Structure 1
Amino acid sequence: MSDIKCLSGSSSMSVPGTAFTEDRRPEPGPVTALSDGTTHEQHAEDARIQSDNKLVCCEPSDKIFESVYKTDRFLGQGSFGTVFSAVCKSDGQQVAVKSIWKLKNNTTTVDGCKLNTDVVMMATLQQYPTCPYVIQMFEWFDYPDHIKVVMENPHPCTELVTLIMCRKLDIEKTRIIMSQAVEAVKHCLDHGVFHNDIHAGNILVNTNTFNIKLIDFGCAMLYTEDAYQRNTYRGAKLYRPPEVKSGNSFDGPKTNVYQLGRILERMSSGLRSTECRRLYKKCQSWNPSDRPTFEDLLKDQWLFKPL
């Protein structure tokens, strides 16, 4: 990554040759004004026109959060923080805001400067080409002991885990959600991000369109083809692959495939589909080398039916 472009606030981070190290651990909406006078639509367009070797990285806003947004209601609990809805005062656009405490184990280092992991990973994922199935960050606000990250707020939506528990999914909706989840996770890996916490609670589903958004990058790490040490796994125990339990290391993509298989199994519980069963069992193979690659998944005739 050869350049960082700051989209809001002062431009003190325009540093060529930036390297990252870790501290281990499509639905268009109305145009919305950001605190710097630009709009969410312009922000997205600016991200789209960046070349592949540039990182779109937002500096913290120089405005006061309360002067731009009005807090609405509590939405949920995520890694290292809480999420609530808010309304942009200039035009009434709804956004989601994640308030995150500043802790030593939720930072990623950029040229010796520690930044919040959510911010760095989400900025990385907004490099061109973007993915409609990954949540987008608009801007963030910096405080002495915490930060506030402003993101898109798809609605009406609910967590995938809620749809599973209420048995609201048929086999076709299950297939559609799974295919989007595969594309979202592959997008993360292609952009150098290993999510590290893929589970049904970290996928939002629009209850009208059944389009998804992958959320919560507080446990994410920069992707490497080298094996990760066992103690760096931060995912839910229910989605933990066997090599994390019994081995000393694990592979990022193979772990994500296992987690996606676990999600597919939960979504299809009680549904009769030989193809679905075949796929989730293959994804959860005990031996990681027996699991399909993301390229295999994209070619799966049941998951991605030809038009």
Structure 2
Amino acid sequence: AGRPAIRRRDHICWRYKFGARLGEGGFGSVRKGTRYKDSLKAFHPKPLPLEIALAVIINRKPNCPHIIEMLDWQDDPDYYLIVLERPVPSMDMGKFLKCSGGVLSEQIAQYLMWQVIYAANFCCYRGVFHRDIKLENVLVNPTTLEIKLIDFGCGDLVKDSGYSTHLVYSTKPYFSPEYHDRGRYHAKPATVYSLGVLLFAMLHGRFPKARDLYCLGINQSVFAVSHECIRFLWAGLQRHPEHRIALEQMLYLDWFVLGFPNPLPINRNASKQHSCHR
């Protein structure tokens, strides 16, 4: 912990106290950090330049409250440093699921998904393709259920021509089928598919299988969720991208428009267990 042995007083490392390692991403490590001037909590990875460029684009004002905010960055001869906000309390959605018994109620999943989809739309609106939306890249405040989308290390700029390769660090269960079927995919349809996988995992504690997709397709639910939720899942998990719902339309499906009549139940159990996962 503490500042590394760097002589330049204007270096970014003189502005932050670095602490324990929080985890590893595809492009670097993540450590706790505290800004000296105001004790603001933060963490910093050592990313590639593209991640910094994407973060700069995403963080232009007005920014999105559901995307992690970049606080500072600096390039050095041998590496880059980027400092990001560290929401406290928070845990990634994978750990939040474990604290919630492995699955989420449909109402809590709906509330979390609205925020994730909003963030995904914001990214594409700004011309940024996250490309690795998954449980581990969504931070959840276990008390308020507010989320932050993190880790743009696999990201790219949105291109009309699409993409022919996946980065080795992005996560296979979330890959859109056209990557395997056609060897090519586009940002928005691929994002929609990964969001469908994310929601299925939140509701069922596992990734969708062929049998699950069949049941969704013929509307014979073996799942304890509403018909609106089934239609939402099926719209996002269509095998062919041209049949998939448009990313911009996801927030206007009946599942969100109709909503739930009861107040949102805050997951107090997950909040209490948070301390063991920090």
Task: Give the TM-score normalised by structure 2.
Answer: 0.78
Q: CA deviation at 1:167?
A: 3.4
Match for residue 257 of structure 1 among 188, 192, 210: 192
Equivalent pairs: percent with the same residue? 29
Return closer, same or farther for 1:259/1:145 CA change in 2, 3 Å cut-off. same
Answering whether residue 224 of structure 2 is matched by residue 272 of structure 1, we say: yes
Instruction: Measure the CA separation in 1 of the matches of 2:28 and 2:37.
Output: 26
- Of 269, 272, 281, 2:234 maps to 281
Give distance in 2, aligned partners of 1:128 and 1:89. 25
**Do 1:76 and 1:83's aligned partners in 2 also have CA atoms closer than 8 Å?**
yes
Task: Give the Cα separation in 2 of the matches to 1:282 and 1:233.
Answer: 27
For 1:68, give the aligned amino acid.
R
Cα–Cα, structure 1 residues 233 and 85, in superposed 2: closer, same or farther, change >3 Å? closer
> In the TM superposition, what whole-angstrom CA distance separates every residue of 1:102-126 from its partner, at most 9, and x where no partner exists?
xxxx4xxxxxxxxx01110010012
Contact 1:233 1:244 in 2 (8 A): no
Provide the residue aligned with 1:38 in structure 2. none
Q: Could you tell me whether the CA contact under 8 Å between 1:164 and 1:266 is conserved in 2?
A: no
Write the mapping of 1:187-206 to structure 2, written as runs, cut at 5 A: 187-206=122-141
Which residue in the other structure is 2:56 paired with?
123
Contact 2:154 2:167 in 1 (8 A): no
- 2:254 aligned residue: 301
On the 8 A contact 1:178/1:303 being kept in 2, the answer is no
Moved more, 123-132 or 283-292: 123-132
Matching residue of 2:82: 149
CA contact (8 A) 1:164 1:267 kept: yes
Q: Post-superposition shift, 1:162?
A: 1.4
Tell me the residue number matched to 1:85: 32
Asked if the contact 2:59–2:69 (Cα under 8 Å) also holds between the matched residues in 1, the reply is: yes
How far 1:81 sits from its partner (Å)?
A: 0.3
Output one character per residue of 1:241-300: Cα deviation in whole Å (capped at 9) or x when no partner. Answer: 111112121111000000000000010117721222321222111111111112321211
Residue 54 of structure 2 aligns with an amino acid whose one-letter code is M
Describe the superposition over 1:140-181 as per-residue Cα deviations: whole angstroms up to 9, x where unpaired: 132222222111111100001112234353221100110111
Dislocated runs of 4+, deviation >6 Å: none
Residues 18 and 32, structure 2, Cα contact 8 Å, conserved in 1: yes
- Count matched residues: 233
CA RMSD of aligned residues (A): 2.1
1:193-232 superposed matches below 5 A: 193-230=128-165
Deviations 1:76-128 (A, max 9, x none): 1112101111111222221111123xxxxx4xxxxxxxxx0111001001223
Alignment equivalent of 1:165, drawn from 89, 94, 98: 98
Where 2:20 maps in the other structure, the secondary structure is: strand
